[in-house]
């Protein structure tokens, strides 16, 4: 017996990584074995999963993975995604350093929540790149706004991963598409940090942009560091 799911490609934006030396805007899901480890979070009575104990290793001046998970794992998330009969099956967060070429380190806290149909990822970025600069490196990114904040919408390919429940090697292949929105933390595109929300479906059907925007509009104002001005 095998089990499978999709995860966004970790190197899906080579142009952005090579030119900007930044991977913060790439949609990155947690490791395969982390996904397996949190399967037990789903309550046998059908209750939504709580956030797991986070792996936070960042100074207090950065938002933690625990706080990102708390903001993302909200009771109305299934309704925002258009799947109101579902509930959260796994939820986890982490706060780690991303080491760039040359040894520079950038904080990269993130949280991921999964439902039966959708997975949702929330990432905070502490780089000096503006949203417009990132959009220029993302190819087909479309400029927009979220709650008056500069933003860009773009797509990221996913990898389909399957593994045997009885052990053995994992298998990978092309997956569907993740839709992502990168949003400035402030009302101006000042390069002082961004938040990114990404959604993708387990069945590889293209995600709903309206669902992505609904989630971003409700979640981002609850994240520490979001500036309403």
The pLDDT tens digits for 137-162 are 887 899 999 999 999 999 987 766 65
Rounded Cα distance between 135 and 141, Å, is 6
Exposed / middle / buried, residue 111 (Cβ in 10 Å: 0-12, 13-18, 19+): buried
The answer as to whether 36 is a domain residue is: yes
Instruction: Let me know if residue 106 belongs to a domain.
Output: yes
147 within 8 A of 221, measured Cβ to Cβ = yes
The pTM score is 0.80
Q: Does the residue 227 lie in any domain?
A: no
Q: CB count, 10 Å around CB of 188?
A: 14
Q: Contact at 8 Å (CB) between 190 and 130?
A: yes
Q: Is 229 a domain residue?
A: no
pLDDT in tens, 19-32: 232 323 333 333 33
> Is 73 part of any domain?
yes
* Domain presence at residue 54: yes
* The predicted structure's pLDDT at residue 13: 35
Q: For residue 179, what are the β-bridge partners?
A: 155, 199
* In-domain check, residue 67: yes
In which domain, by residue range, is 20 found?
2-222
pLDDT at 51: 97
Question: How much is the pLDDT for 15?
Answer: 32
Count the domains in the chain: 1
Position 203 scores a pLDDT of 86
pLDDT value for 228: 81
Residue 57: the pLDDT is 93
Q: What was the pLDDT predicted at 102?
A: 85
CA distance 70 to 61: 17
pLDDT for position 26: 36
Task: Flag whether 228 is in a domain.
Answer: no
Ranges in the chain, pLDDT < 50: 1-5, 10-41, 43-44
């Amino acid at each position: 017996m095998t089990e499978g799911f999709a995860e966004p490609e970790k190197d899906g934006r080579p142009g952005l990584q090579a030119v900007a030396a930044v991977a913060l805007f790439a949609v990155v899901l947690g490791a395969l074995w982390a996904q397996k480890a949190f399967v037990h979070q789903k309550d046998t009575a059908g209750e939504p999963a709580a956030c797991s104990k986070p792996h936070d290793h960042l100074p207090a001046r950065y938002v933690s993975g625990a706080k990102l998970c708390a903001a993302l794992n909200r009771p109305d998330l299934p309704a925002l995604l258009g799947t109101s009969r579902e509930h959260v099956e796994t939820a986890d967060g982490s706060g780690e350093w991303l080491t760039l070429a040359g040894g520079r380190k950038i904080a990269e806290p993130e949280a991921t929540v999964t439902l039966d149909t959708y997975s949702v990822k929330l990432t905070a970025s502490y780089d000096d790149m503006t949203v417009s600069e990132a959009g220029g490196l993302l190819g087909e990114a479309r400029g927009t706004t979220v709650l008056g904040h500069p933003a860009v919408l773009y797509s990221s390919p996913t990898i389909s991963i399957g593994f045997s429940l009885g052990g053995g090697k994992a298998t990978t292949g092309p997956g569907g598409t993740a839709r992502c929105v990168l949003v400035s933390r402030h009302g101006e595109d000042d390069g002082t940090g961004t938040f990114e929300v990404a959604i993708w479906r387990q069945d590889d059907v293209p995600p709903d942009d309206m669902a992505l925007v609904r989630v971003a509009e409700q979640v981002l104002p609850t994240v520490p560091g979001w500036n309403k001005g």
